[in-house]
Amino acid sequence: MEFVHKSVLLGESIDWLITDRDGIYVDCTMGGAGHSKGFAMQLGERGTLVAIDQDDDAITAASERLQGMPCKIKIAKSNFKDFGEVLDGFGIEQIDGIFFDMGVSSYQLDTPERGFSYMNDGPLDMRMDKSGRKDAYYIVNHYKEDELAEMIYRYGEERWSRRIAQFIVSERAAAPIETTFELVNVIKKAIPKGARQDGPHPAKRTFQAIRIEVNDELNILEKVVTQAVERLKSGGRIGVITFHSLEDRIVKQTLAQLAKGCICPPQLPICVCGRTPLVKKTGNIVPSDAEIEANPRSRSARLRYAIKR
């Protein structure tokens, strides 16, 4: 299956991030190179794009799509949390811009054997990096009931988390839950019929929670955003596309903290913390109505941004 992915907020991301044709830019979540190619096409021959992804299929597809770009291209297989090590390996200290797209690619969702989608039947997997040891099958069939309930509630914001966990544990006692559709059926049994009639697909929140757990997506986000800002040159830009409230809240709060100056208690007559703001001009952009109509998966997307002081 060809690696196809429709990039969200593409024009807005390019317009925000790229300010110097000769600059060094980092796409920490290259995927199928939708954003990466857009960034690269705005750079000149002295510019550099570092593109990072942990998915072998993405790297294969993106490597082809980034051939013939006007700038220097450096591709690395790594998790976005390790972008600093990638830059160190290339001998790069400071950068002009850094970008993260936290969404799952259309290719991953639409490829049943990757196990990301509740709309396609496939093995319970959900690993972004297929060499990773922990997959969705392990979580569903080996986590304790209270661990499942906590994970589904915390990462999926699912009100029926305890009931879903109970049903999963009961079902797997008879036989392991092996496929995405088997899990979907368990979730549908767990959620009362009346609660399933409105809102998103009944399995959406649980699948989101398991995917986040498999790939450790949220635990590293605050630290990564802070490290990314630290690697920027003065005036450098960061952009982060989020797709659900949990990750959006983390990015928003982290950038807000980095924009703060003194954090001393108000009763102190003078500042003793010596803290100065690291970023300015924080804000966000959401997709246009036209983009949402053309690509419904973009509906929940939000581009958070800031400039290094």
> What CATH number corresponds to the domain at position 79?
3.40.50.150
Q: How far apart are CA 68 and CA 178, in angstroms?
A: 43
As given in the structure block, the two tokens for residue 98 are 């850094």
Q: Is residue 33 part of a domain?
A: yes
Are 226 and 292 within one domain? Answer: yes
Query: Which range is least confidently modeled, 120-129, 195-204, 226-235, 286-295?
Result: 195-204
Q: Is residue 14 part of a domain?
A: yes
Instruction: Tell me what pLDDT residue 4 has.
Output: 58
As given in the structure block, the two tokens for residue 68 are 């013939």
- The whole-chain average pLDDT of the chain stands at 94
Are 263 and 289 within one domain? Answer: yes
The two counts, helices (H) then strands (E), for the chain are: 14, 7
Number of domains in the chain: 2
Are 275 and 142 within one domain? Answer: no
| Torsion angles phi and psi, residue 19, rounded to 5 | -125, -10
Residue 47: partners with Cβ closer than 8 Å, 6 or more residues away: 20, 21, 22, 23, 24, 25, 70, 71, 72
Instruction: Tell me what pLDDT residue 2 has.
Output: 55
Are 16 and 39 within one domain? Answer: yes
* Sign of the Cα pseudo-torsion (141, 144, 145, 146, in order): negative
Are 46 and 187 within one domain? Answer: no
Q: How far apart are CA 204 and CA 94, in angstroms?
A: 39
CATH number of the domain residue 182 falls in: 1.10.150.170
Three-class SS of residue 147?
helix
Q: Is residue 109 part of a domain?
A: no
The answer, yes or no, to whether residue 226 has pLDDT greater than 70, is yes
- Give the CA angle between residues 149, 222, 38 to the nearest 5°: 110
Burial degree of 200 (CB within 10 A; 0-12, 13-18, 19+):
exposed
Q: Is residue 113 part of a domain?
A: no
Q: Is residue 36 part of a domain?
A: yes
Q: Which of 215, 246, 272 is the last residue of a domain?
A: 215
Q: Is residue 114 part of a domain?
A: no
Instruction: Tell me what pLDDT residue 195 has.
Output: 81
Among 137, 110, 117, which residue's Cα sits nearest to residue 181?
117
List the beta strands (DSSP E) in 92-160.
95-101
Are 223 and 205 within one domain? Answer: no
- Cβ-contact 167, 189 below 8 angstroms: yes
Q: Which of 192, 215, 238 is the last residue of a domain?
A: 215
Instruction: Tell me what pLDDT residue 275 has.
Output: 84
Are 196 and 237 within one domain? Answer: no
Are 91 and 228 within one domain? Answer: yes
Are 55 and 201 within one domain? Answer: no
Q: Which of 191, 215, 239 is the last residue of a domain?
A: 215
Average pLDDT over residues 143-172: 97
Are 222 and 198 within one domain? Answer: no
* Sign of the Cα pseudo-torsion (217, 223, 228, 229, in order): positive
| Torsion angles phi and psi, residue 108, rounded to 5 | -65, -40
- Cβ-contact 140, 168 below 8 angstroms: yes
pTM: 0.87
Q: Is residue 181 part of a domain?
A: yes
The answer, yes or no, to whether residue 197 has pLDDT greater than 90, is no
Q: How far apart are CA 22 and CA 19, in angstroms?
A: 9
Instruction: Tell me what pLDDT residue 3 has.
Output: 57
Q: Residue 291: which H helix or E strand, with range?
A: helix 289-294
CA atoms within 13 A on the CB side of 104: 23
> With bands split at pLDDT 50, 70 and 90, how would you rate the model's confidence at 238?
very high
Residue 216: partners with Cβ closer than 8 Å, 6 or more residues away: none
As given in the structure block, the two tokens for residue 252 are 């928003």
Q: How far apart are CA 243 and CA 102, in angstroms?
A: 7
Are 173 and 42 within one domain? Answer: no
Q: What domain range includes position 167?
A: 133-215
Are 82 and 231 within one domain? Answer: yes
Among 79, 39, 42, which residue's Cα sits nearest to residue 59?
79
Q: Is residue 112 part of a domain?
A: no
